[in-house]
Structure 1
């Protein structure tokens, strides 16, 4: 449906020159690109689950917006000039992301300066564009503006954000360095993720959780009693957080990968965080427990994170997620047979999300092996030979270079 009714014959307005339009979208590109990159880097080290969730949801939202921005730049100016590199003025603000000492400082730059600057630029752009001759740009701008406003409005509930003086009047109008590029720095490797204050972290995790919960076939045990479900879903919530953190770091540590890879990782990061939220609600509303009631451990996370990107894709996406599909289906059916519909329904959408997660492994693992799907399958099989019965690597590498 057209934005302007077809019965409306108001005069066209001048709008923006195509080059000016491309420049504005290029500046949006640079802000979104680096916001996504650094949000991925710091997400595992944000201790608060709810703040971690918001960071993951916003970076996924920004990744989707970036797809639209990149496409519009291509449509307006399909050559090597755009998006170029940011001006010195914008680069100085983006450097603050790279210099952030932690998640709170990162959030201050994103929500206190960059996103408000993006909102102001989008408002100016929306007012200037002609909605008939450039309806495509209008739709993209309107979507971005609505989402960025929502991000800034919500952020103050999870971080102590101090509004900053604008660093310029109109960020969208800043010059770009045509045909140049800007490299992205990478944070040091993780030791382990951060969790909410008061969460007990031990080397062995929750001793209540036995191996039979995490194997496939006849040996698999489905938790059906209240106490074992409390421990199980608490452990599963942490596993979902670890999965989100692994995907976020896959993206952050590999800026050289194609943009579609980063979009897929952003979506899976958000998926895993949504799963964790489902378990948080289930524990509180159905099981009589809550996040933090039991100890957790990072042994599995560390064993997968130790691998390079190909190894992580093979072992997590291509093995852990693939084998979890059977367990989710099995758990769902057992619980339905026992009349536990509210618990069983959790596994319905977990199972649905595992399918694209497995495909992420196939797609990008194959990409890393020169597009050879047979080589990917062979690599998965090779690495699976080094797993124990629960799917955890027996002898992971020391600390693989990213």
Structure 2
């Protein structure tokens, strides 16, 4: 209590009582040491989401990994900025603060299936990280270390949301005793390595009788960037895809053109699949690069969710038709990370054309008098303007100006794709569009468009 008479207005901006404010919290050095460990974990969680994106077949998990990658990138950025404000240069933040903590995270990266990936992240890493954040928040002065308190509150709220989703996802994947036993074994495996690191903060007592399971991380990690899907995506190597042409067909009915647009949006999960391989295989960039790419990756997943929500609104069963992986597959397997990024920019810069790009897509939805599709296309358009800016920002130093980037993109796009060609020869290429229109719209297709703008323009 202050010795000065009160006028009844809460003091200290309402952040604390005088008694609470009189308690000295963590000092600068201890604060920084903890945030350095948090940052390392958040950046490795970002890496795990990227690494798990392609080998994980479940559609819902791909969407969540996209969100979580973005959020972990944002958390890392906040922690880096705060460390830089506390008399410490952020130059060392990409180095491991503790070899045992690094080993724990390397083990988690070696998860071999969806269940292990979910268990490692949502039963072990995130819950223990959340506990550390809460303990840290309780140990700092809410006024004199307000910037740290604020970022911890934000991170805690988002970690809670991620864990809530993850807990439900783990429960959904465990369908019997075998899955339950497998989940428990993997959780115990990782918790042993975490205990050996002294926990998240490195201060935990290490049991004298601790015995570590056989490590999986003896060999260097080799990412799997060949995209997998579950049964609901149908024949993922049937590349007969007319949506890119139907939405541009001025002779087709408006409702069919919107149907094509919404399938295009839904199909965009192949962009997070491709972008995950870029960030995973591109080393040594400033963290701002990974943060920007994480934002774009999550935006592209949201665009896919636009189509998914539109399908739900109009009772369209998307599992009945092929949702191919050709674009992400051939770029991931037949192009370098830099070439993939150039292709991404090449596409998005061309979408800035007012006659054929995102403005046209928005106008098609308007003309069809579909308010939900119009709303989606409005935000899709805004996002793509940002994405073109992100591409220019990071590609110009490595490749050149816009003209050079577009020329390079055209050249890369024109190259053969051995992976794609092999799949085309081994998989029937079936035109499913007429059946799709009958099911979704209850009528025959009015489009006579072919596949000129498809991934594979012609089929024999």
TM over 0.5: yes
Q: Identify the residue that residue 196 of structure 1 maps to in structure 2.
A: 230
2: CA distance, partners of 1:170 / 1:2 = 38
Instruction: From the superposition, tell whether residues 72 and 174 of structure 1 become closer, same or farther in structure 2 (CA, over 3 Å).
Output: farther
Q: Identify the residue that residue 414 of structure 2 maps to in structure 1.
A: 394
Residue 5 in structure 1 maps to residue 14 in structure 2: yes
Q: Identify the residue that residue 155 of structure 2 maps to in structure 1.
A: 144
1: CA distance, partners of 2:52 / 2:46 = 10
Q: Identify the residue that residue 424 of structure 2 maps to in structure 1.
A: none
Matched residues, number: 372
Q: Identify the residue that residue 265 of structure 1 maps to in structure 2.
A: 293
The normalised TM-score by structure 2 is: 0.72
Instruction: From the superposition, tell whether residues 56 and 383 of structure 1 become closer, same or farther in structure 2 (CA, over 3 Å).
Output: closer
Higher mean Cα deviation, 92-101 or 353-362? 92-101
The answer as to whether partners of 2:56 and 2:62 remain within 8 angstroms in 1 is yes
Instruction: From the superposition, tell whether residues 360 and 61 of structure 1 become closer, same or farther in structure 2 (CA, over 3 Å).
Output: same
| 1:113-164 deviation line (CA, Å, top 9, x unaligned) | 1111111211211111111221111112222222212211220222247676
CA RMSD of aligned residues (A): 3.0
The answer as to whether partners of 2:236 and 2:324 remain within 8 angstroms in 1 is yes
> Which runs of structure 2 are paired with 1:172-187 in the superposition (5 Å)?
172-174=201-203, 187=222
Residue 276 in structure 1 maps to residue 304 in structure 2: yes
Residue 103 of structure 1 deviates from its aligned partner by 3.7
Q: Identify the residue that residue 329 of structure 2 maps to in structure 1.
A: 302
Instruction: From the superposition, tell whether residues 6 and 250 of structure 1 become closer, same or farther in structure 2 (CA, over 3 Å).
Output: closer
Instruction: From the superposition, tell whether residues 269 and 338 of structure 1 become closer, same or farther in structure 2 (CA, over 3 Å).
Output: closer
Residue 69 of structure 1 deviates from its aligned partner by 0.6
The answer as to whether partners of 2:51 and 2:223 remain within 8 angstroms in 1 is no
The answer as to whether partners of 2:244 and 2:264 remain within 8 angstroms in 1 is no
Q: Identify the residue that residue 14 of structure 1 maps to in structure 2.
A: 24
Residue 81 of structure 1 deviates from its aligned partner by 6.1
> Which runs of structure 2 are paired with 1:1-400 in the superposition (5 Å)?
4-5=13-14, 8-10=17-19, 11-79=21-89, 84-160=95-171, 167-168=194-195, 171-174=200-203, 187-191=222-226, 193-207=227-241, 209=242, 212-213=245-246, 221=250, 224=253, 226=255, 229-230=258-259, 233-238=262-267, 240-286=268-314, 288-305=315-332, 306-317=334-345, 319-325=346-352, 326-369=356-399, 373-374=400-401, 377-385=403-411, 393-396=413-416
Instruction: From the superposition, tell whether residues 6 and 203 of structure 1 become closer, same or farther in structure 2 (CA, over 3 Å).
Output: closer
Residue 316 of structure 1 deviates from its aligned partner by 1.4
Paired residue secondary structure (1:201): coil
Please, which runs of 5 or more residues in structure 1 have no aligned partner? 176-183, 387-392
2: CA distance, partners of 1:2 / 1:115 = 36
Structure exhibiting the larger radius of gyration computed from Cα positions: 2
Paired residue secondary structure (2:18): coil
The answer as to whether partners of 1:206 and 1:296 remain within 8 angstroms in 2 is no
Paired residue secondary structure (1:125): helix
| 1:26-80 deviation line (CA, Å, top 9, x unaligned) | 1101111111111111112221211211121112111111111111122224246
2: CA distance, partners of 1:290 / 1:339 = 22
Residue 202 of structure 1 deviates from its aligned partner by 4.8
| 1:216-241 deviation line (CA, Å, top 9, x unaligned) | xxx75486455565455334412x10
Instruction: From the superposition, tell whether residues 77 and 283 of structure 1 become closer, same or farther in structure 2 (CA, over 3 Å).
Output: same
| 1:284-336 deviation line (CA, Å, top 9, x unaligned) | 213x413222113233333433322332222212x212223443311322342
The answer as to whether partners of 1:41 and 1:248 remain within 8 angstroms in 2 is yes
1: CA distance, partners of 2:95 / 2:235 = 45
The normalised TM-score by structure 1 is: 0.82
Q: Identify the residue that residue 390 of structure 1 maps to in structure 2.
A: none
Please, which runs of 5 or more residues in structure 2 have no aligned partner? 1-9, 172-182, 205-218, 420-460
2: CA distance, partners of 1:9 / 1:210 = 64
